[in-house]
């Protein structure tokens, strides 16, 4: 590598707009899947709580899915969703998020104490209103714990998508490597980590607002 410094500030200064575009793309392809995962985990989790026999096999399937290597899954999907498309990267990331969020949703919904549930019913709450006003709020600390794990790993994994042509900030790693130029790589690592930490902080803040009683981290999932 010779005398090339680790960071050339000049390059960063002249590429700010470029870095911002990659950061935005990265946020979209890594965080939208987490949102989709949550939207699927809620109804699936409700079903699993309602029909407990469903949960074991579903959890086993998602455990295996979670173990699949991201790069391999991206590649296997290319014939179906196309090279360098958002779908190729976002489909597996959605599955990973769902794999993390399903168990935490089920744990959260099961954490509602039976007397609380009965008290709500006795006050005249129907099943839907009880769900919205009692069960989901009680599950918030669990949901946030799951979302934190899902979001951080999704942000870190999305950069691998660069190898199949759609990886947001991950593109900086390939670019820097091919040109033997460390500055973009360092910038990429810093921005990916920063995005993950900011997302984590936002989720913590959301929990504090939505579930102020859960100060202590006693329910952190996996």
Partner 1 sequence: MGAAGIGGGTVNLYSWLSQFFGDPDRRHGPDSIVHRVGEHLLFSGEALGWALLLAVPLGLLLGYTGKAAGLVTALSGAARALPTLGLVTLAVLLAGVGDTAVLVPLVALAAPVLLVAACEGVRSTDPDLRDAARGIGLTHRQVLWQVCIPWALPALLAGLRTAAVQVIATATVASYVGLGGLGSYVVGGLATRDFAQTIGGALLVVLLAVATQLLFALLIRYALPAGLRRARD
Q: Which of 31, 44, 48, 73 lies at the binding interface for partner 1 (CB under 8 A)?
A: 73
**Among the listed residues 183, 164, 160, 185, the one whose alpha carbon sits nearest the alpha carbon of residue 173:** 185
The region, left, alpha or beta by phi > 0 then psi within -120 to 50, assigned to residue 180 is left
Residue 83 near partner 1 by CB under 8 A: yes
Distance CA 172, CA 177 (A): 8
Distance CA 147, CA 49 (A): 19
Distance CA 154, CA 102 (A): 15
Give the contact letters, 7-46, x = binds to partner 1 (CB under 8 A), - = no.
----------------------------------------
Residue 218 near partner 1 by CB under 8 A: no
What b/e sequence results for 194-215 when a residue is b if at least 16 CB atoms lie within 10 Å of its CB, and e otherwise? ebbeebbeebeeebeeebeebe
Residue 67 near partner 1 by CB under 8 A: yes
Give the contact letters, 159-198, x = binds to partner 1 (CB under 8 A), - = no.
xx-xxx--x-xx-xxx-xx--x-x--xx-xx--xx--xx-
Binding site residues, partner 1, CB under 8 A: 1, 63-64, 67-73, 75-76, 78-80, 82-85, 148, 152-153, 155-156, 159-160, 162-164, 167, 169-170, 172-174, 176-177, 180, 182, 185-186, 188-189, 192-193, 196-197, 200, 220
């Amino acid at each position: 590598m010779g005398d090339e410094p680790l960071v050339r500030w000049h390059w960063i200064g002249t590429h700010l707009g470029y870095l911002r575009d990659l950061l935005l793309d990265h946020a979209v392809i890594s965080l939208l899947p987490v949102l989709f995962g949550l939207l699927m985990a809620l109804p699936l989790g409700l079903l699993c709580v309602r029909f407990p026999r469903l949960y074991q096999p579903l959890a086993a399937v998602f455990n295996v899915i979670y173990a699949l290597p991201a790069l391999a899954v991206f590649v296997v999907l290319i014939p179906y969703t196309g090279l360098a498309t958002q779908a190729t990267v976002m489909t597996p990331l959605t599955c990973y998020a769902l794999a993390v969020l399903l168990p935490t949703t089920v744990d959260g919904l099961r954490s509602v104490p039976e007397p609380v549930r009965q008290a709500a019913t006795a006050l005249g709450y129907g099943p839907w209103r009880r769900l919205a006003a009692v069960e989901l709020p009680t599950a918030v600390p669990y949901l946030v714990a799951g979302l934190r794990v899902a979001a951080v790993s999704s942000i870190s994994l999305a950069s691998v998508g660069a190898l199949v042509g759609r990886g947001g900030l991950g593109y900086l790693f390939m670019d820097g490597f091919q040109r033997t130029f460390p500055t973009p790589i360092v910038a990429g690592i810093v921005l990916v980590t920063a995005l993950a930490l900011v997302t984590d902080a936002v989720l913590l803040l959301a929990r504090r607002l939505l579930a102020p009683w859960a100060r202590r981290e006693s329910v952190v999932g996996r």
